[in-house]
Amino acid sequence: MIIEWLKTQWHFSAVLTAVVAGVILGLVAYASLFERKIAAWCQDRHGPNRVGFFGLFGWRLWGLGQPIADGLKFFVKEDIVPAKVDKPLYVAAPAICLIVATMGFAVIPWGGVVDLDGDGQWDVRCQVASLDIGLLYLLGLGAMGVYGVVLGGWASNNKYSLYGALRGTAQLLSYEIPIGLAILVAVLMAGSVRLEEIILAQVGEGNCWYAVKHPIAFLLLWAAMFAETNRMPFDLPEAEQELVSGYLTEYSSMKFSMFFMAEYTHMIVGTAFLAVLFLGGWHLPFIPWLQPESTSIFAMLCKMAVMIGKVVFFMWLYMLVRWTLPRFRFDQLMRLAWQKMVPAGIGLAGVAAIVVYIRGSEMSLWREVALCWAGNVAVVVVAVLVSLLARQRGDRVTGRQGNLPAVPAAGSGA
Amino acid sequence: MKDEDVLNVDDLQPPLNTAERFYLPILYEGMVTTVRHMFGMWGAGKRVTVQYPEQKRSLRVENYRGVHRLNKEWYRGEDGTRQERVACVACFMCATACPAHCIHIVADESPWDDREKYPVRFDIDELRCIYCGMCEEACPVDAIELTAEFDLVGLSREEMIFDKEKLLEMYDRTKDIKPRKDPKITGYPTTADRLATAPAADAQAPEE
Amino acid sequence: MSPTVAYLLYALFALGGAGVYLALPRSQARPTHVAGLLLGAGAIVGGLMLLGTYVIAPSSTESSTNFFFYLFSAIALFAAARVVTHPKPVYSAVYFVAVAVAVAALVLLQGAEFLAIALIIVYAGAILVTYAFVIMLAQQTGVSVYDTRAREPFAAVVLGFAAMAAIAGRIADPNALPATALAPATASLVAGAGEAPVTPDAGAEAQAGNTISVGWSLMTKYVVVLELAGVLLLVGLVGAIALVKKKVPRDVGVDPEAPLGQIGKEVEPF
């Protein structure tokens, strides 16, 4: 009976929305614990390990109760709205951030298609909304996500916040271009902007993940994703040391928490996006339940687990990088985007277009992979040559800004 | 401002080489280190945290300056048995030396023959105290000492004013960990001894 | 459409124009603000109902589509009025974003998904963020005089609303366009699929969705326009670079071997 009811995509989507929202919000809460744990392990500490569940069983459970305690704390803390903020925008900004970040889950294909009643025909997609423009929808959300940062920073009426907002705007706008170019590689190869079709183009006989075909494009998207989610080497809008948390400075209590949740949600969407575009989404090779042909409910659950596993793996990498790399300076950030990533992205998109043109409809997988690799290697070789040439010319990349006034040495007196 | 005073920090850094300009090799190197520490591989990643209430860091008991205690000493009672009494002779040296003025003593005539006074009340405001150890240094009979107890908590300010009984109880709690200081018995160097053995280090003041 | 309806339409536009005129920011404080808003709101509602009755409703089968049409139209019109009447530039930019999103939703209701999302990415995502960026940089505190006062409000309102009335009258006139093709024509026009199928497989077109249709029509029928637009953008880019490019000496006079005190000696200030 319930199976019959679920066979309508609309009903299934509603249930999936509830499930995904619950799971994801839990994942977001636990992402903060995960992050703190990994931060601790990277620094030879233990991390939060005290909070259990109300002393349940007398165990501490490795601090697994910590996110609940944190959430409770955020709810009951005083919510300070500073006197001179622009109140409507100040209140709206965290909401915009969180809503836009959460909307991304609507199009992510979690588990392919499902055959609910076992008659050999698939009934529903394990995806909240199968949009014709899934990829562009995610890009559009990325574009809208800037507003939370911008408005929050401006409305706070604080110079640090404004600096954070300005940096955030420039950074997100700049890094959307390499992201778009890297996405273009996957779109060209798959010939579709539908996320589930991009997955299907990577799996099955005679296909392979685009991360194998286009490793450089994969790295490019991965790196640009860091900037898009304001993560560590690119966390200039927040920059605790310089900007005392940037656009978050004036926020407290649940509003701060909403920005925080938005950041983690953004990370989850971003990694899911990466997994779909370049790592075959829910697919793993050689495992029968993870192929597009298997559509049972069990297979769906396996696929969802694999998808979430990929997301968690990339979240882990995000966190490792955070404790590995120092922050970029702003001019280095811009130079990286416009002088390195954008040309590389254009080159890779060109390579993908050429591959698509040459391969036509019949070409064996090996030859296609070899062709893609040749193109990727060519892009890298050109980049190395350009870099060597710049070195020959004596360009210095330490980031001396030639037109800035000199900095007085300490104690000399101006 | 003169040009000679200008120092551009950027020019002190060496320029990046070709591999460094691509960031990825550097990223890989760094990630290897991070992962090593995270999983505790290849000699890295020994956890340094002390799990505080269960584990406690071993302190140098001799010179750690924690909560005060008021020492007790043995004496022969009128019936010839060994009895305990407070070692303090209520000379007010500690209260005088205290920079935070947190020691308050009320003295009275001693019931014992070998001393004139003894403290009826001996209060130390542990919230005012700065744990400098001057009282310890000033005491002529080594009656007041700082123990290695550092987890000092209370629910009210009144509770944190330690009176004579509490300070004596502190001695009972810590006497096994830290024996009563007596230069003749324990062999701890006195201030005078330390000054005598280390003259050069103090004399060498940093330039400017 | 009967002449009565046409005159009603024009009258509503006149009303809306008067409302916007009254609501436009002026230097002196005045009680007409509320009146202006009321008038504007009345005009918006009336215009919507007219449009709904004579243009959209006959072709629309689903009532939910109708409802969302009214909802997003109202949001778009209100936000558009606030873009020009709000005294704070940042709020104008935010309302502009609301207009872009609401219009994207309207386009989406017509089945043109690609156009809708392109509108959001291009307008809300790039252009208006840049606006917000500039506004924030230019004016951090307070509201300046030139933002609180409309320039030539009368002429602007008359011109704008006359143009809008002309366009609306033309659209609502059944003689101007075939009545049967009104809404579908709009949909296929924006989707670029209204022409004879240029896709290789016409049967697959419905399933392929309008992203592919837009791509095909852009690369076949409108390829010259597309290329011209590309060239135009390139020219704009080159022009922008030429405008901002100053000849900046690169590490002037810095000799790596020189003693530290000499470094930066010849660097010019801004």
Q: Do C16 and C43 touch, CB atoms closer than 8 A?
A: yes
When pLDDT is cut at 50, 70 and 90, the band that residue C185 belongs to is very low
Answer yes or no: is C203 within a domain.
no
Q: What is the mean pLDDT of residues A104-131?
A: 78
Share of chain B above pLDDT 90, in %: 11
Task: Please name which of A236, A303, A318 lies closest in space to residue A269, comparing C-alpha atoms.
Answer: A318
Domain membership flag for residue C147:
yes
Residues C77 and C131 occupy one common structural domain: yes
Q: To probe the interface with B, which of A226, A319, A397, A404 has the most B CB atoms within 10 Å?
A: A397
Chains in contact with A via at least 3 Cβ–Cβ pairs below 8 Å: B, C
Query: Chain C contacts of A395, Cβ < 8 Å?
Result: 250
Interface of C with A (CB under 8 A): 90-91, 94, 97, 113-114, 117-118, 120-121, 124-126, 129-130, 132-133, 136-137, 140-141, 209-211, 246, 248-252, 254, 264, 267-270
Residue B153, min C-alpha distance to chain A (Å): 20
Same domain, yes or no: C232 and C108: no
- pLDDT, residue C201, reads 46
Task: Identify the pLDDT of residue B74.
Answer: 77
d(CA C118, CA C115): 5
Nearest to B87 by CA among B139, B133, B163: B139
What does the pLDDT average to over B192-204? 49
Classify residue C209: in a domain, yes or no: no
End-to-end CA distance of chain C: 65
Question: Contact at 8 Å (CB) between B12 and C270?
Answer: no
Per-residue confidence (pLDDT) for residue B105, from 0 to 100:
92
DSSP B42: T
Q: Which of C211, C246, C269 sits opposite A133 (nearest CB)?
A: C211
Residues of A whose CB is below 8 A from C137: 166
pLDDT of res. C168: 74
Cβ distance B3 to C264 less than 8 Å, yes or no, reads: yes
Nearest CA of chain C to the CA of A260: how many Å?
A: 22
pLDDT at C108 over 80: yes
Residue C252 contacts B where some CB pair is shorter than 8 Å = no
Q: How far is CA C45 from CA B150, C39, C81, C88, C179, in A?
A: 74, 10, 13, 26, 24
**Residue A354 corresponds to which tokens in the numbers above?**
């050429």
Q: How far is residue A354's CA from residue C150's CA, in Å, rounded to a whole number?
A: 54
Q: A120 CB contacts (<8 Å, ≥6 apart)? A: none
Q: Are residues C233 and C111 in the same domain?
A: no
- DSSP 8-state symbol, B99: T
> B102: number of CA atoms within 13 Å, CB side?
20
Residues C136, C20, single domain; the answer is yes
Question: Is A53 a residue whose pLDDT tops 80?
Answer: no
Same domain, C42 and C120: yes
Q: How far apart are CA A207 and CA A213, in angstroms?
A: 10
Please report where in the chains the tokens 């006034």 appear, as a residue: A405
Establish if C21 belongs to a structural domain: yes
Overall number of domains in chain C: 2
Question: Do residue B18 and residue A383 have CB atoms under 8 angstroms apart?
Answer: no
Measure B13 CA to nearest chain C CA, in Å: 11
Number of H helices, E strands in chain B: 8, 7
> With an 8 Å Cβ cutoff, are B7 and C261 in contact?
yes
Per-residue model confidence as pLDDT tens digits over A229-261:
888 788 877 777 777 777 888 888 888 888 888
Q: C92: domain CATH number?
A: 1.20.120
- What average pLDDT score do residues C62-84 get? 77
Asked if residues A289 and A303 have their Cβ atoms less than 8 Å apart, the reply is yes
Residue A343 CA: distances (Å) to CA of A181, A337, C54: 10, 9, 52
Q: What is the CATH number of domain B68-180?
A: 3.30.70.3270
C102 and C227 co-located in one domain: no
In a domain, C30, yes or no: yes
- Report yes or no on C210 lying in a domain: no
Contact (CB, 8 A) for A182 and A224: yes
The answer to whether the CB atoms of A45 and B22 lie below 8 A apart is no
Residue C211 within a domain: no
Pick from A322, A324, A382 the residue to mutate for testing the B interface (most B CBs within 10 Å): A324
Pick from B84-98, C96-110, C161-175: least confident: C161-175
Let me know: does A6 contact A124? Beta carbons within 8 Å: yes
Residues of A in contact with B21 (CB under 8 A): 387, 397
**CB proximity C265 to B under 8 Å:** yes
**What ipTM is given for this predicted complex?**
0.79
Contacts with B1 from chain C: Cβ below 8 Å? none
Give the span between the Cα atoms of A277 and A187, in whole angstroms: 8
Please name the residue ranges forming H helices in chain C: 3-23, 32-51, 63-85, 89-109, 113-119, 128-138, 145-148, 153-172, 182-191, 202-208, 210-219, 223-244
Same domain, C150 and C57: yes
Do C143 and C258 fall into the same domain? no
Give the mean model confidence (pLDDT) for residues B42-47: 66
Please indicate, yes or no, if residue C8 is contained in any of the structural domains: yes
* pLDDT above 80 (res A150): yes
CA B201 to each of CA B63, B190, B194, C11: distance values in angstroms, whole numbers, following the listed order: 20, 18, 11, 97
Inform me whether the C-beta atom of residue C269 falls under 8 Å from chain B C-beta atoms: no
Please name the chains neighbouring C, where neighbouring means 3+ C-beta pairs under 8 angstroms: A, B
| Domain definitions of chain B by residue range | 68-180
Q: Which domain holds residue C242?
A: 222-270
C238 with C115, same domain: the answer is: no
Cα–Cα distance, C17 to A403 (Å, whole number): 51
Where residue C247 falls among pLDDT bands split at 50, 70, 90?
Answer: low
pLDDT at C37 over 90: no
Q: Write the single-letter amino acid at C139.
A: Q
